[in-house]
Amino acid sequence: MSEAEAELTQVTRVMTVGELIASIAHEINQPLAAIVTNADAGLRWLSGDEPNLEETAQAIRRIIRDGKRASAVVSRMRALFKRTPTETELVDLNDVIREVLAIVHSETERNCISLQTDLADDLPRLIGDRIQLQQVILNLLVNAIQALSEVSEGTRELYISSRQGSQIHAERREDQGEGLSRPEEILIEIRDSGPGLDPNDFNQLFEAFYTTRPQGLGIGLTISRTIVEAHGGRLWAKPNEPRGAVFQLSLPVRS
Q: Tell me how far apart the alpha carbons of residues 233 and 141 are, in angstroms, rounded to a whole number.
A: 18
Q: What are the residue ranges spanned by the domains of the chain?
A: 3-82, 89-252
Taking 50 as the threshold, does the pLDDT of residue 117 lie above it?
Answer: yes
**Helix axis angle, 3-47 to 220-230, nearest 10°:** 100
Contacting residues for 3 by C-beta, under 8 A, at least 6 apart:
none
Beta bridge partners, 237, equal 247
Does the 89-252 domain belong in CATH 3.40.1280.10? Answer: no
Q: Predicted confidence band at 188 (pLDDT cuts at 50, 70, 90)?
A: very high
Residue pair 125/96 in contact (Cβ under 8 Å)? The answer is: no
Residue pair 227/217 in contact (Cβ under 8 Å)? The answer is: no
Taking 50 as the threshold, does the pLDDT of residue 11 lie above it?
Answer: no
Q: DSSP alpha helices (H): ranges in 48-164?
A: 53-82, 93-110, 130-148
Q: Tell me how far apart the alpha carbons of residues 41 and 69 are, in angstroms, rounded to a whole number.
A: 19
pLDDT tens, 213-242? 545 445 677 878 888 888 899 998 888 888
| Amino acid at residue number 11 | V
Q: Predicted confidence band at 81 (pLDDT cuts at 50, 70, 90)?
A: low
Q: What is the pLDDT of residue 20?
A: 52
What Å distances lie between residue 148 and 24, 33, 55, 142, 169, CA to CA? 25, 19, 30, 10, 31
Q: Which of 65-79, 128-142, 180-194 has the lowest mean pLDDT?
A: 65-79
pTM for the whole thing? 0.64
| Nearest residue to 32 (alpha-carbon basis) of 71, 66, 8, 77 | 66
Q: Tell me how far apart the alpha carbons of residues 71 and 68 are, in angstroms, rounded to a whole number.
A: 5
Contacting residues for 236 by C-beta, under 8 A, at least 6 apart:
177, 178, 247, 248, 249
Cα–Cα–Cα angle for 201, 205, 210, nearest 5°? Answer: 95
